[in-house]
Amino acid sequence: MIGIDVLEPGLQTTVQDRGRPGHARFGVSAAGAADPLALDLGNRLVGNPPEAAAVEMTLLGGSFRFEAPAVVALAGADMGAEADGLPFPPFASRRIGAGAIVRCGAAAKGARCYLAVAGGIDTPPWLGSRSTHLPSRLGGLEGRALRRGDRLPIGALPAADPGVSSAAGGPPPMILRDRELLAPSRTIRVTAGAHAPRFDAETLRLFETAEFTVSATSDRMGLRLDGATLPARGSGRMPSEGMPLGAIQVPPDGAPILLFVDHQTTGGYPVIAAVIAADLWRVGQLRPGARLRFEPVTMETARALQLAQRQRLRSPDLLAADSAGPGA
């Protein structure tokens, strides 16, 4: 099976797909891409199905050598990437030849970039997913971040393109046309948390108006937020119960924690709010030091925003042929 050689791994680079939902009752969080929108767009640019696995790079990207001709795409934060010395911008796909090297640097803005390849990263699935879950050291490549000298297998070209052979290099180069999908915003929209009544009106107003900063101790398990203190009534503790992705817990010290893709499945702190599905990709691009605010919305608005995002991802105008790009 053809593959990709990891020349330099970057800061924290892992194999990720859409994750493995449905196993929380066994203590297994879904994991998956921190920026699901970028992963989806990367897969679409190379003609993969949405569930295909890609390489997730965090803050500092890696360098990768391709054993055989391939179609690859970058999606997410701009890491000043090059493909065989030529600029390789995000949200574009490229045809590259055997022995080609894709090099990524530091993210100028945002936090994560995805390297997608036609056929997907074909590491062994675990519980139906190839996503790396770092806390349990399962999934991906041996359950860990990539290292220099690793080799990632590439799967067969997508069945959606039966007329395209490996020798032809896969589907043609594409670019993202609908850039409004990626409109920057420091506002993260949330719905009311299950335990919002445990916070008084003044604290809830503070949560809605204060600016928070992502702590340097944040990771894929959760983002610790510095800023306003949000005391809950009583001790701030409660019996442990199930915790969903995007829940914003408030421990006794009043400093909120946004539970993220590798989060624990249970918790004993009250949840003041939860990030809506349509904005989870924005959380995945928050880097230490980033500032953000929260905007409460209704469940009806959250559902409408998620539906609108899905419809735009299915639009025939989402992508366009990149006739001017290298390898076209």
Instruction: DSSP letter for 89, please.
Output: -
User: What pLDDT score does 326 carry?
Assistant: 61
The yes-or-no verdict on residue 50 having pLDDT over 90 is yes
Number of neighbouring beta carbons within 10 Å of residue 150 = 20
Q: Where are the domains of the chain?
A: 3-176, 187-297
Cα(242)–Cα(309) distance, integer angstroms: 27
Q: Residue 238: what pLDDT?
A: 79
CATH, range 187-297: 2.40.100.10
Identify the weakest region by mean pLDDT among 143-152, 288-297, 298-307, 315-324: 315-324
Sequential DSSP letters for 250-277: --TT---EEE-TT--SEESS-EEEEE-G
Digit-coded pLDDT (tens) for 74-121: 999 999 999 999 999 999 999 999 999 999 999 999 999 999 999 999
Cβ pair 10, 160 in contact under 8 A: no
CA distances from 204 to 102, 199, 293 (A): 47, 6, 13
Q: How many residues does the chain have?
A: 328
Q: Residue 68: what are its φ and ψ, rounded to 5°?
A: -135, 165
Q: What is the pLDDT of residue 48?
A: 95
Q: Work out the angle between the directed axes of helices 299-313 and 36-45 (0-180°, nearest 10).
A: 20
| Beta-strand relationship, 266-267 and 319-321 | unpaired
Looking at every residue in the chain, the average pLDDT score rounds to: 92
Residue 172 or 61, more confident: 61
Give all strands (DSSP E) within 84-165, no chain letters.
86-87, 92-96, 101-103, 112-117, 151-153
Q: Considering only CA atoms, which of 100, 104, 119 is closest in space to residue 46?
A: 119
Tokens 């894709």 correspond to 102
The pLDDT of residue 165? 39
CA distance 58 to 113: 7
pLDDT at 281 over 50: yes
